Amino acid sequence: MIFCLSGNFQNNILAETLCEDNALGRLPDARYAALDAQYAKEQEALSKEITELEKSVKGYNQGKRSAEKFIAMIDKYQDFDTMKQHNMTCGGNWRAEQA
More confident residue, 60 or 10: 60
Q: How many domains does the chain have?
A: 1
Stretch 13-40: mean pLDDT: 90
Q: Is the pLDDT of residue 92 over 80?
A: no
Roughly how many angstroms between the first and final C-alpha of the chain, as a whole number?
Answer: 49
**Angle ∠(63,66,67) on CA atoms, nearest 5:** 85
Burial class (CB in 10 A: 0-12, 13-18, 19+), 46: buried
Residue 38: closest CA among 11, 69, 75, 61: 11
The pLDDT tens digits for 33-58 are 999 999 999 989 999 999 999 999 99
Return the pLDDT at 97: 47
Stretch 54-66: mean pLDDT: 95
Specify the DSSP class assigned to residue 26: S
The parent domain of residue 72 ranges over 2-98
